[in-house]
Structure 1
Amino acid sequence: MRINRMGVLAAGHASVDFYQGAIPAIVPFLVAERHYGYVAASGIVLAATLLSSIVQPLFGAVADRWRLAWLIPVSMLVTGLGAGLAGPAGSYPLTWLAIALSGLGVAAYHPESARLARTVSGGSHVGMSWFSLGGNLGFAVAPLLVTPLLSWGGLAASPLLVVPAALGCLVTVAAMRSAGRGAGAGRTETDAKDDWPAFVRLALVMGLRSVGYIGLSTFVALYAGGGTAGAVALFLQFAGGAAGTILGGRLATRLGRVRTLRLAYALAVPALAGVVLVPGPGLYVFAAAAGVALYVPFSLHVTLGQDYLPRHAGTASGVTLGLAVSAGGVASPLVGALAEATSLRVALLALAVMPLLAWLLARPLREPAIAVPPR
C-alpha cells in the first residue's frame, strides 16, 4: 500500500511540475498571437519560475507553523487555473498575473507535499526518488502535450490546461485519505536540533549543481548543431536525469546519502567535460552521463535538507525544491555571455567546474540523523 501511495503522489507531483514545462511552451503562442517582444516574453517566464522559487521557502516556513495538508490539493488547482487563464486573460498585465498565479501554486505545493511524501515513504530514499521522478517526467512531457493543443486551438484552448491539475488533485486526495487523516501535516515534533551550517552548505552545493545542469540543457542542443541532432542530445540528457533520479535512491540505500552525493559530483566532472572534449557521437554518451550524474543527488538533497533542519522541514523542502534550484536559471545569461565573449565550447567546458566545486563543498558534510515526521 505504501508503494501504491508513493506512485500516486508521484503522479500528483507530475501534474504540478507539468506546468513548469508548460509555461515555456505557451510563450511562443503568446509571441505569435499577441506579438510580445523578447523582454515581454522573458517577463512571462520570470513570473512563473523565479517568483515561484523565491516564494517556496516562505510557504515552507508557514507550513512549519501550521497544519496545511489542505494546501496540497488547493495549490494544485491554483497551478492549473493560472495556466488555463493565460489565454482568456487578454492584456499583458492580466496574462502576467495569471502565469504568476500558476507559479505561486507550484510554490505552495512543494514544501508540504515533500513532507507528505517523506512520511508516506517511511523515510525511504527510493520512495523519495520516485516522488522526485514524477516531477521530472511531468516537466519533460509538458511541451509534447501543450504544443499540439495550442497549435490546434490557439490560446483560446488554454483553459483545457486545467485538466492535468484536476486529475492530479483527485488522485492526490485519494492517496492522502488512504495515508490517514492529517498525514504529513503540521509541525514536526522532534528533540533533534537544526544544523543550519550544514544546511546552508547543502544549499550552495545544490546551487552549483543547478548551474551545471541547466547551463548544459540550455546550450547542449545548440552545441550539437541544432535540429534533430540537438533534440537527441537534449533528450538523452533528460532521459539520463530520469534514470539518475531512481539510481540515486538505490545507491543511497547502500552507500548512504552523503557518500552517494560526493560520488555523483565526482563523476559529473568528467561527464560534463566529455561533452566538449570527446568528438563525434561521444557527445551523446556524455550528455546522457552528465544527466545521470547530476540527477543522482537530486532527491537526496531534499531528504538531507529535511534531516539537517528537523524542526523546519517545510522550510528545508522549500529551499531544496525551489530557491536552490533557481540558481541555474539565474546564471544561464552569464553562461551565454561567456559563450559570446569566447566560444560555446569554452562556456560548456566551464560548466565542468560547477560539480567540482560542489564536490569540494560537500566533503565536510556528514550523514544526519533521520527525522521522519510521525505518521
Structure 2
Amino acid sequence: MRKNTPIALLAVGHACVDVYQGAVAALVPYFIAERSYSLAVASGIVLAASLLSSVAQPVFGALTDRWAMPWLLPVSTLLGGVGIALSGLSGSYPLTLVFVALSGVGVAAYHPESARVARIVSRGSHRAMGWFSTGGTIGFALAPLMVAAGMSGGGLRRTPLFVLPALAGAAMCLPVVRVLQERRAAADPRLTLPPGRDDIPSFVRLSVAVVFRSIAFIGLSTFISLYVRQRLDGGMAVGTAALFVLYLGSTVGSVLGGSLASRWDRVVVARWSYLVTAAAIAGVLWVPGPAVFLFVALTSAGLYVPFSLQVTLGQDYLPSRVGTAGGITLGLTVSIGDLAGPAIGALADATSLRTALAPLVLMPLLGWLLFRSLPEPRVDGPASTAPGADAGSPAKTR
C-alpha cells in the first residue's frame, strides 16, 4: 500500500461516520415539520445522539490505550449508520431517542481508535492529521445534502437509505485494518511512537477550551437552518443552504489548520482562529441580508482551523495515553457541548433565536483566554517519528 493510501482511506471512512453526526442536526427541521416538536424537544434529539457518546468515547479511548482494536473501525461505522437509518421509522419520541443514541455510541467507538490509527499511519504529521480531520468535516458538510435528497418525496420514512454511507465507510476501513495486522505480525516499529511525560494541567485547559468551541458549533449547527430561514424569510432550501455552508466552511478550516501548523505553533494558530471566530459569530447574528452566508462560512472555518490541532495537542500533552486523549478531545468535550442545545432551544422558545444564539459569541473568546496560557508541547526525537511533528520537517521544540 502506498504511503498516503491509509490516511486517504481513513479520511473517507471518517467522512462516512461523521455524516451521521451532521445528519442529526439536518433531520431536526423534518422532525419539527412532521411531528410538531418544539425547538426544545427537537434539540433533545441532538442531545440523545451524543449523551452516551459523552461517556463512551473516553471509555473506548482508555480501552484502545490497553489493547489495539482496529476492528472497531468498520463495526462502529455500521452501528452509526444503522441508528440513523432507524430513527425515522417510528413515530415514538422515546424510540427515536434510542435510535439516535445507538448511532452516537457507534460514533463514540469510532473516534478514539481512528485517531490512534491515524496518528500511527501518518507518523505524527500535522498535515496528514489535518486531512484525516477534513474527512470528518466533509461528512458534516454532505449531511444536509444527503438528508435533503433522502427526505425528498418521502419524508422520515426514507431514513433507511442513510445506511449506505456506513456500508461504504466500513469497506474503506478494512484495508487499513489488514495493513495494521500485517505490520503487527512483523513487529513493525512504525506501530509505536516515542513515549513522553504527561502534562495533565495543560490537557485539562485544552479540554475546557474544546468544550467552549463545541458549544458554539453545536448551537449553530442545530439552529442555523431555522435562524437563516427567519432572517431571510426563506423556505427549507434556504435553511439547508445555510447548514451546508456551515459544514463546508469547516472543511476549509481543517485543511488550513494543518497547513498553518506546519509553519507556526499549533497554540498560536488556534489562539488567533478563536479571535476571528468571535467576530464572525457576531456577524452571523447582526449583519443584515444575504451577507449572513459569508459570516457563517467564516465562523465554521474559524472553529475548524484548530480542530485537528487540538487532537494532536491533546495526544502530545498525554503521550502515554493517546487513545484517552483522542476520546476526550474528539468525543467527550464535543459531546458536553451538546448539553447546551436544549438550553438554547428553551431560551429561543421563550425569547427569540437571535437572543438565544447571542451568548455563542463569548464561547471562542473563552477558548482564546485558555489558549493564552497553553504551551506548545516539547517534541524530542526525529521528525519522522515524533508525535505532533510533520514528516519531513524539523520537530518543533520549545
Common topology (TM > 0.5) = yes
Partners of 2:282 and 2:361 within 8 A in 1: yes
Aligned position for 1:126: 127
Aligned position for 2:85: 84
Partners of 2:25 and 2:222 within 8 A in 1: no
TM-fit CA distance, 1:280: 4.0
Aligned position for 2:336: 327
Aligned position for 2:392: none
- Using a 3 Å threshold, how does the CA distance of structure 1 residues 25 and 356 change in structure 2: closer, same or farther? closer
Aligned position for 1:171: 172
Q: How does 1:305-316 map to 2 (within 5 A)?
A: 305-316=314-325
Alpha-carbon separation, structure 2, partners of 1:16 and 1:339:
30
Aligned position for 2:301: 292
TM-fit CA distance, 1:290: 1.7
Q: Which 10-residue stretch deviates more, 209-218 or 39-48?
A: 39-48
Q: Which 10-residue stretch deviates more, 141-150 or 62-71?
A: 141-150
Partners of 2:47 and 2:338 within 8 A in 1: no
Aligned position for 1:369: 378
2:210 to 170, 192, 206: 206
Aligned position for 1:140: 141
Aligned position for 1:244: 253
Structure 1 counterpart of 2:196, which letter?
A
Alpha-carbon separation, structure 2, partners of 1:78 and 1:107:
10
Q: Which 10-residue stretch deviates more, 167-176 or 16-25?
A: 16-25
- Using a 3 Å threshold, how does the CA distance of structure 1 residues 356 and 344 change in structure 2: closer, same or farther? same
TM-fit CA distance, 1:306: 0.8
Partners of 1:87 and 1:156 within 8 A in 2: yes
TM-fit CA distance, 1:51: 1.8
Aligned position for 2:268: 259
Q: How does 1:4-43 map to 2 (within 5 A)?
A: 4-25=5-26, 38=38
Structure 2 counterpart of 1:174, which letter?
P
Q: Which 10-residue stretch deviates more, 340-349 or 191-200?
A: 340-349
Partners of 2:44 and 2:341 within 8 A in 1: no
2:52 alignment partner, SS class: helix
Residue segments in structure 1 that go unaligned for 5+ positions in a row: none
Structure 2 counterpart of 1:58, which letter?
V
Aligned position for 1:101: 102
TM-fit CA distance, 1:246: 0.5
Partners of 1:188 and 1:312 within 8 A in 2: no
**1:100-138 CA distances to partner (integer Å, 9 max, x unpaired)?**
322211111110001111111121111111111111121
1:318 to 307, 311, 327: 327
- Using a 3 Å threshold, how does the CA distance of structure 1 residues 46 and 199 change in structure 2: closer, same or farther? same
Alpha-carbon separation, structure 1, partners of 2:246 and 2:64:
34
1:193 alignment partner, SS class: coil
1:192 to 190, 196, 207: 196
Q: Which 10-residue stretch deviates more, 127-136 or 96-105?
A: 96-105
Structure 2 counterpart of 1:211, which letter?
I
Structure 1 counterpart of 2:12, which letter?
A
1:352 alignment partner, SS class: helix
Normalization by structure 2: what TM-score?
Answer: 0.81
Partners of 1:44 and 1:99 within 8 A in 2: yes
Alpha-carbon separation, structure 2, partners of 1:204 and 1:362:
10
Normalization by structure 1: what TM-score?
Answer: 0.86
2:182 alignment partner, SS class: coil
Structure 2 counterpart of 1:148, which letter?
A
Alpha-carbon separation, structure 2, partners of 1:319 and 1:220:
26
TM-fit CA distance, 1:56: 0.8
TM-fit CA distance, 1:253: 0.6
TM-fit CA distance, 1:20: 1.8
Alpha-carbon separation, structure 1, partners of 2:151 and 2:242:
26
Cα root mean square deviation, aligned: 3.3
Aligned position for 2:68: 67
TM-fit CA distance, 1:92: 5.9
TM-fit CA distance, 1:151: 4.3
Alpha-carbon separation, structure 1, partners of 2:182 and 2:256:
32
Partners of 2:46 and 2:341 within 8 A in 1: no
- Using a 3 Å threshold, how does the CA distance of structure 1 residues 226 and 309 change in structure 2: closer, same or farther? farther
